[in-house]
Amino acid sequence: MIHWKGALYVPSTKQKNLVIVESPSKAKTIEKYLGRNYHVVASLGHVRDLPKSQMGVDIEHDYEPRYISIRGKGPVIKDLKKEAKKAKRVYLAADPDREGEAIAWHVSHLLGLDDNDKNRVVFNEITKDKVKQAFKTPRTIDMNLVDAQQARRILDRLVGYSISPILWAKVKKGLSAGRVQSIALKLVIEKENDIKKFVPEEYWTIESTFKHGKDKFKANFYGLDGKKAELKNNDEVQAVLGKVDKKKDFAIDKVTKKERRRVPAAPFTTSSLQQEANKKLNFKTRKTMMIAQQLYEGINLGRKEGTVGLITYMRTDSKRISKVAEAEASKFIHEEYGEPFAAIKERQDKNQEGAQDAHEAIRPSSVMRTPASLKDILSRDQFRLYSLIWSRFVASQMTPAVFDTMTVDLSQNGVMFRANGSKMKFEGYRKVYQSTSETTKKDNILPELAEGDNAKLQTNDPAQHFTQPPARFTEASLVKALEENGVGRPSTYAPTIDTIQRRYYVKLNGKSFEPTELGEIVDHLIQAYFPDIVNIDFTANLEDELDHIEEGKEDWVKVVDRYYKPFAKELESAEDKIEKVQIKDEPAGMDCDICGAPMVIKMGRYGKFYACSRFPDCRNTKPIVKEIGVVCPVCKKGQVIERKSKKNRIFYGCSRYPDCDFVSWDKPVGRDCPKDGHYLVEKKVKGGRQILCPNGDYEEDIQK
């Protein structure tokens, strides 16, 4: 504090309590809540870690880690020490998880704080009441949490720093391997192998239109003589149609009416948030976590409320919520939507097997802060993610949606058709939220039909189909697969997926992951020589053991030893047996325009490119571009080529750049608009693709 004395500033000698958090935005939010007796500063994440230049783990002496101050953190550490010296008391308020506990422990060590001091403060949401309440009950640093984080960090270092040099020597510089990333890569490659092995099978359906009185409805072929039957080819279809007498009516044999209730989904965990944000908002997992962190650490809501954390902690695998949050949601739903929409029974959501359940589910810190009330304050992406979290949580506290369903069986000469209909009877939670799987489903209302009635066959529409191969992984489905296999924890999914893309082990084709040649080579080597690393059960069991360390049931040194010793034997064998892998350069079919030597196609960090075969004597390189067969609509000389932006988004430009500066996000089609002569483009629109004039004067549907 600074006080006035005449015309001079006199610094206050009163000591303040020092609070250390990880990020400046979090520091800013918390300092406003705690008031003038507290000074809150940020460590900017970890301050100590294992050295980058060496292993940093003494294997011979109980895997003792050699921590050093992180390069570039000198000024931050100096400021922390300076502030700590003059502070009345130091509090460590890093995030409420293993990583946060480890950060608090490292900061405590650097500042020379007493390990027995009750200086660790944790809170699951950054709101005034929760923060003040947490400072009333500080605790000592939980060494079980620290040891669990240390065990993971040390094992990952032992694996990564042992395998990576082998990959560098035998395959290519700059490669890496790790426990979770190796399994993520393995899953992508196994899926690709399943797709390659897939043999499509032919099958047919018959959708028919029936008429009952004045009403028409559709039904599908179901079976023969009361038993379900599949149609494998056109001959079988014709045999079925041959049994049908078009002059005779179909008898309505059975009408089944039921009331079906659909229960709302639980509030978000880290995994389900990443999946739904990817599907609904097209967010990458890293982007989802970055925006969620902003919402958690605090947003300035103006003079009335100041800076407030809008959601609870976003790294969690639990579906439970607090009684206070339940009560507030119930009050809000009663007032906003009415009593019929408010859930009567308390939810009992079962967590994923192996969940730590350390924090409650992701929810708004106050349900009264509706997305609409924050629209002018939040950025577009913050608003979209907050709306998703808010609506999912509110819906989870609402009543089920109720549907009237109707199943109708019709038959003639032993040929059976079935019609299914449904109609929403009561919206329930769907008034607020629908998952991606629900938004595509529409009511199918059947006319009033009764057993014993007849219906006349109007038309038959046989259709040939082929079974489809399994879908490639998207970010959402890969996160789901990692979680279902018990590999990694909520905090690891985003960096794992980011790593396998940065190493060019996988690439995105649209929204789907495809393995690269480099990824397949690395996966083959790891599977052949380090089978435990890509053994899903082995890695999932390790996650359980890390949980046991956190609970104080296991010693971290014994756990690391148990996992490292078999790996060390594999390592010893691999160094002798692995032969150098040659990634063959493909001929490019053209000569270098500098030295005249043949050009080849090489594999780089960001994909394939053209390079001179005389490298390193000649360093000429060129990007590989894809012509789309269209002449540039601006200069009429160059070819339009497909390029990629820094964010991997496809755009189109002229091959004569920079002489011609034509560029377009939409694909030119090589024709001009019949109305104004402007070039036409192909554009994705709701429901398909269209050919459009950028000036908006012309459009035509693309024929499928």
| 285/467 Cα distance (integer angstroms) | 31
Phi-psi region of 694 (alpha: psi -120 to 50; beta: other; left: phi over 0): alpha
| Active-site residue, selected from the candidate residues 313, 505, 563, 652 | 313
Q: What share of the chain is helix, strand, coil (3-state, %, to 5)?
A: 35, 25, 40
- Cβ contacts of 146 within 8 Å, gap of 6 or more: 98, 101, 102, 105
| 647/565 Cα distance (integer angstroms) | 42
Instruction: Note if 161 is an active site residue.
Output: no
- To the nearest 10°, report the CA torsion of 335, 340, 345, 346: -30
For the record, the structure tokens of 672 come out as 């001009």
- 395 to each of 12, 35, 304, 329, 402, how far by Cα in Å? 51, 36, 28, 9, 14
Radius of gyration of the chain from its Cα atoms, rounded to whole angstroms = 32
| 539/660 Cα distance (integer angstroms) | 54
Cis preceding-peptide flag for 658 (omega within 30 of 0): yes
Angle at 587 between CA 582 and CA 590, to 5 degrees: 150
How do 89-92 and 17-21 pair as beta strands? parallel
- 257 to each of 372, 399, 427, 446, 563, how far by Cα in Å? 40, 22, 19, 11, 57
How do 454-466 and 250-262 pair as beta strands? antiparallel
Tell me the CB-side half-sphere exposure of residue 575, using CA atoms within 13 A.
9
User: In 3D, which of 193, 177, 186, 191 has the Cα closest to residue 570?
Assistant: 177
- Per the listing, tokens 């030893």 go with 561
Asked if 184 and 483 touch (Cβ cutoff 8 Å), the reply is no
Angle at 57 between CA 51 and CA 59, to 5 degrees: 165
- Cβ contacts of 375 within 8 Å, gap of 6 or more: 383
Give the three-state DSSP class for 517: helix
User: In 3D, which of 202, 199, 271, 262 has the Cα closest to residue 231?
Assistant: 202
Cα(first)–Cα(last) distance of the chain, in Å?
A: 72
| 32/257 Cα distance (integer angstroms) | 59
For residue 507, which phi and psi values (nearest 5 degrees)?
Answer: -135, 155
Query: So which residues are the catalytic ones?
Result: 313
